[in-house]
Amino acid sequence: MGENKTANIVGIIFLIFGVVSIVNSFFLKNFQGILWFCYISLIILGIGFLKKNHFLIKSQLNIIAIPLIIWTFDFIYFLIFKHSLLNIVDYFFLSGPILSKIITLQHIFTIPLAIYTIKFIKPISKNSWKLSFIQTSIIFILSRIFSNPEQNLNWVYHTSLNLNLPYYPIFWFAGIFFMIISTNFLLKKIIKF
């Protein structure tokens, strides 16, 4: 299969999952759900792969790589031990719409598929971390406006471990900045390798 064709197929897969996840949120009347980082990133990854835009792809990987790896770890832990270690994936194992569960499985394959496919796109992106940080800042603000501590969209109110951290927004931004910068650095190494 040609490199362009592979990137196009992956782009279409991400775009379909992203659009279906947002449409599903509307059908479930979970309107604020469209603000989940992973849903937004799926759409932007889809566009990035279809347009062969390394900058867009890397900006999204900077945001979602570490959270999706942590989610996948907790998911595998639950499968083995029948309970969640980090209280992240419990919702997946509760009764609910099957489409939501299918959409949620994108947490497992998004990062490996994107990293495998990004090698087919010429790496010309510099400073993608800046877009990542701007995007996360905007989504933080929107998540605080349109959700509440019980919904805790994108963990903007507290961690899943419910730690009582003073000045939590500062902790959140420091954590996000660390994740973006470290992922950006690692992606450069992985892509070169």
Whole-number pLDDT of residue 193? 66
Q: How far is CA 112 from CA 25, 47, 53, 99, 131, in A?
A: 25, 18, 18, 22, 22
Interior/surface letters 95-110, b for 16+ CB within 10 angstroms, e for the rest:
eeeeebeebbebbeeb
- pLDDT score at 1: 60
Tokens of 108: 């497992």
d(CA 95, CA 121): 40
Q: Which residues of the chain have pLDDT under 70?
A: 1, 125, 162, 193
Report the half-sphere exposure of 9 (CA within 13 A, side-chain side): 10
Confidence (pLDDT) at 28: 93
Asked whether the whole model's pTM tops 0.85, one would answer yes
| 78-114 residue pLDDT tens | 999 999 999 999 999 999 999 999 999 999 999 999 9
